[in-house]
Structure 1
């Protein structure tokens, strides 16, 4: 029988994105939602830490995937336009490249591992240095 003081050793990892949104109202809603989710994650980190549950956020930058090819960024349906888009992003990034899905997966895998057992309520930015540029 449980005494009620067992530690669970679980992780909650929130994945958040940066989007190009031109409509000011949609942009406002996006940032308001993002701020609320950040506060939610920090609240989880505080409330659930005594039970061995950690909560963290992974913030990827531009990652090579089909995400941009969907209706999120108009005009990127063909390979030539998409590759030109990625080249532009890479040139503007301090690392000189676009992220790969494996870059994000590595961060998530690390946070979910025991090696990150003392990381709670944090953000890992996976964007090649783009965030610190501004």
Structure 2
């Protein structure tokens, strides 16, 4: 079974990018989260929706802000620096060493262990089953 979140209007908003509320969800006038419950009502054309990241919910959460409290848009991600040919050549052997690991022993090459015929658990080296106490040879 695969658990997925439901489809929601908040999924269409990018993280940390202010978007006019009227463009993403229709509705009545509402308040800015920073102005508080006593703040004035704003039309949805005057409010900005910002989707913030949440440490425990991958979908994040959305807050509405007026023009005065609208957070600045997040800067675009920095471009990765271009590595020189010498740096790439030096990094290649290190990467190769990390990816190589000892091969696991195939199951057919491992010693067989004695199992209890009644409990189907592995018995000790002395031949006693830890579950039912039977002596297994």
Scaled to the shorter chain, the TM-score interval is under 0.3
**TM-score normalised by the chain length of structure 2:** 0.17
| Structure of larger gyration radius | 2
